[in-house]
């Protein structure tokens, strides 16, 4: 279905029955990334699967300000309101995790439990944010100049995804590429410029006061986000870190059965926390 939020059509799919679970994909992804988990999770939860702005079948407007983290969190709030959902669980991967945490910070009454896969609260230092903003602008310019196919070639080769070559089959890598290519150039460039790590709010200073139960899932082979999760655990008063062996950044792809079980176990076991 399409849900209109301030003139932007958001593609939203609902599956299953039970406690609501909002699913947020990563950069260059879409709600289709969660398809392998629909059956198992749909037995326990009412899944709300959203294509983020600029991705999948959601609109990709030209105005960069519509892609800001504040606007995106507000859109999710409106989507839940339209679906008559007061609160629920939220799971976000990478970019989707940054969106999920931002949503929980801005609309805490909506979130019972937060699960972040390979994600972060943004960047702490001004110089880090400026450097990342500059780098994301370079990536956006690359898409503008070379097109989506060449960008996906580049994106697949970055070190963050190196484990996919060993842990995913050729068929799985091809399917992932096809989903990435389904996105629009405008949507991806505006996502980088509007909600990139360098321009989003930084939540590090607010983690100590963040009492919503939070599960951080990281791959043992993803050293960067493993360290970020450890640093987050030093601040989160109600956090738990789950490390998945033989997995890098895309745990849900590289160890799907284990990932699926972690989600069910975490949300069921911590319902009353």
For residue range 50-103, what is the model confidence (pLDDT) as tens digits?
999 999 999 999 999 999 999 999 999 999 999 999 999 999 999 999 999 999
**Owning domain of residue 61:** 2-269
Q: How far apart are CA 228 and CA 175, in angstroms?
A: 29
CA-wise closest residue to 23 among 263, 185, 183: 263
* CATH code at position 176: 3.40.50.1820
Q: How far apart are CA 206 and CA 99, in angstroms?
A: 15
Query: Which pLDDT score, from 0 to 100, does residue 225 have?
Result: 98
Q: Which residues of the chain have pLDDT under 50?
A: 271-273
101 token code pair: 């945490």
Query: Which pLDDT score, from 0 to 100, does residue 270 have?
Result: 57
For CA atoms 244, 103, 200, 28, the dihedral sign is: positive
Contact 119, 94 (CB under 8 A): yes
**What are the pLDDT digits (tens) for 109-125?**
999 999 999 999 999 99
Q: How many domains does the chain have?
A: 1
CA distances from 42 to 36, 45, 71, 97, 198 (A): 11, 5, 28, 21, 35
Query: Which pLDDT score, from 0 to 100, does residue 272 have?
Result: 44
Q: Which residue has the tokens 């001004």?
A: 126
pTM: 0.95
18 token code pair: 């039970």
Contact 254, 163 (CB under 8 A): yes
Residues 6+ apart with CB under 8 A from 165: 173
């Amino acid at each position: 279905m399409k849900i209109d939020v301030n003139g932007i059509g958001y593609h939203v799919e609902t599956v299953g029955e039970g406690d609501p679970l909002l699913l947020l994909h990563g950069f260059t992804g879409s709600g289709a990334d969660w398809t392998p988990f629909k059956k198992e999770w749909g037995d326990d939860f009412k899944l709300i699967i959203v294509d983020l702005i600029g991705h999948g079948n959601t609109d990709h407007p030209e105005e960069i300000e519509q892609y800001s983290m504040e606007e995106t969190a507000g859109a999710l709030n409106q989507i839940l309101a339209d679906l008559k959902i007061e609160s629920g669980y939220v799971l976000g991967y990478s970019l989707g995790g940054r969106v999920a945490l931002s949503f929980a910070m801005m609309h805490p009454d909506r979130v019972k439990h937060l699960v972040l896969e390979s994600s972060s609260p943004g960047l702490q230092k001004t110089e880090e944010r400026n450097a990342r903003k500059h780098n994301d602008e370079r990536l956006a310019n690359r898409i503008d100049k070379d097109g989506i196919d060449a960008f996906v070639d580049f994106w697949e080769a970055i070190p963050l995804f190196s484990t996919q070559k060993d842990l995913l089959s050729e068929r799985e890598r091809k399917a992932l590429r096809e989903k990435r290519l389904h996105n629009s150039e405008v949507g991806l460039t505006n996502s980088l410029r509007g909600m990139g790590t360098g321009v989003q709010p930084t939540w590090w200073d607010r983690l100590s006061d963040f009492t919503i139960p939070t599960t951080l899932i990281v791959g043992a082979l993803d050293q960067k986000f493993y360290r970020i999760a450890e640093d987050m655990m030093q601040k989160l008063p109600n956090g738990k870190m789950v490390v998945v062996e033989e997995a890098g950044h895309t745990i849900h792809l590289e160890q799907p059965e284990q990932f699926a079980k972690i989600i069910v176990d975490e949300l069921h076991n911590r319902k009353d926390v």
